[in-house]
Amino acid sequence: MKKGKKVAIIGAGNVGATVAYALAMNGVCHEIVLRDRNTEIAKGKALDMSQAANAARQHTIVSVAEDASGLAGSDVVVITAGSPRLPGMSRDDLLMINAEITKEVVRDVKEHAPDSIIIMVSNPLDVMTYVALKESGFPKERVIGMAGILDSARMAHFIHEKLGYGAGQIRASVMGGHGDDMVPLPKFSTVAGVPLTDVLDEEEILEIVERTKHGGAEIVGYLKTGSAYYAPAKSTAIMVEAILKDTKQIHPCAVFLDGHYGHSDVVSGVPVALGANGVEKLFEMTLNEKQKRKFAASVDSVRGMINVLKEKNFFN
């Protein structure tokens, strides 16, 4: 009989390791297993985190899976593995490289943790979630991409910066793909329950929306040699916690659309309730014509990348 909840994290770089640390600190699971190409670095991080968990008086143990069999028994598998875009590399080059990495990793998950829920964090996020779904053969409810919580958090922070008050009371909503094509929804965003449109004018909201779209690039501009990881990791940990605690909390996540919002055979970010079965319910919000057009454009952008993979017979 299983003693407690187990989370596997594939890719122990900045994002993966910070997800593990966040989960170890809140004690939401009994066991965290890191799997990475560099086993020695993963071992060092796991040992450090296990000691931190003891300092925090948590029961979580962090260890390393030296081979894929260490994934066995995982309730949730977080996949952050992937290559960054290197100089001279086209978007399509990066797409193929990360699709191949995702395919390889998901085969291991399918073999050793067939009952797990997969949370994709690797970029390009929506397409990698589609690849993981097709490669695993898992039900669509059990393959979920992390993007909307991060984008919503970025938008909420920019709203706070603009207002100067309301920290922790701002609820921002976004839909669509992760990146330039995301669709922030000011209509569904509030400050302590007050609609955003009541506290900011249209020009200010537009400025926030544009900054949200490029929120990741802004951080890359400061860091120079890397990208954001604290907010992506915390956003991922929130999803893991909702699943393990079966909270049924509603979060925007990248999921497979099967006729939802008029789109099929594609992955995009929409509000869903997360629980023990993964996606417990998918919500279809009422969008105005402008929002529908923006969402359709976002979906088409993801579909274009999926079609690149299909043209190369990637799914055969």
Among this protein's residues, is 157 annotated catalytic? no
| Confidence at residue 255, expressed as pLDDT on a 0 to 100 scale | 98
Q: Cα(6)–Cα(61) distance, rounded to whole angstroms?
A: 10
| Confidence at residue 1, expressed as pLDDT on a 0 to 100 scale | 38
Are residues 72 and 127 both part of a single domain?
A: yes
- Provide φ and ψ at 246, rounded to 5°: 55, 50
Give the confidence band of 3 by pLDDT, cuts at 50, 70, 90.
low
Fill in the DSSP letter of residue 280. E
Q: Cα(114)–Cα(191) distance, rounded to whole angstroms?
A: 41
Of the candidates 30, 59, 157, 178, the residue annotated as catalytic is 178
Query: In this predicted model, what pLDDT tens digit does every residue of 173-185 receive, in sequence order?
Result: 999 988 778 888 8
Query: In this predicted model, what pLDDT tens digit does every residue of 13-29 receive, in sequence order?
Result: 999 999 999 999 999 99
Give the confidence band of 2 by pLDDT, cuts at 50, 70, 90.
low
Q: Cα(229)–Cα(206) distance, rounded to whole angstroms?
A: 26
Residue 55 to residues 2, 18, 61: CA-CA distances in angstroms? 25, 17, 12
Least confident stretch, 85-89, 222-226, 248-252: 85-89
Structural domain count of the chain: 2
| Confidence at residue 254, expressed as pLDDT on a 0 to 100 scale | 97
| Confidence at residue 5, expressed as pLDDT on a 0 to 100 scale | 96
Are residues 124 and 197 both part of a single domain?
A: no
Query: In this predicted model, what pLDDT tens digit does every residue of 237-284 receive, in sequence order?
Result: 999 999 999 999 999 999 999 999 999 999 999 999 999 999 999 999
Question: Is residue 215 in a domain?
Answer: yes
Query: In this predicted model, what pLDDT tens digit does every residue of 127-168 receive, in sequence order?
Result: 999 999 999 999 999 999 998 999 999 999 999 999 999 999
Residue 13 to residues 19, 98, 185, 225, 245: CA-CA distances in angstroms? 10, 15, 32, 14, 26
Q: Cα(46)–Cα(303) distance, rounded to whole angstroms?
A: 38
From 108, 128, 145, the end of a domain falls on 145
> Is the Cβ–Cβ distance between 143 and 126 less than 8 Å?
no
Range of the domain at 235: 148-310
CATH of the domain at 79: 3.40.50.720
Rounded to an integer, the average pLDDT of 111-139 is 97
Percent of the chain scored above 70 by pLDDT? 98
Question: Is residue 1 in a domain?
Answer: no
Give how far the C-alpha of residue 228 lies from the chain's centroid of Cα atoms, to the nearest Å: 13
CA-based nearest residue to 181, from 151, 205, 146:
151
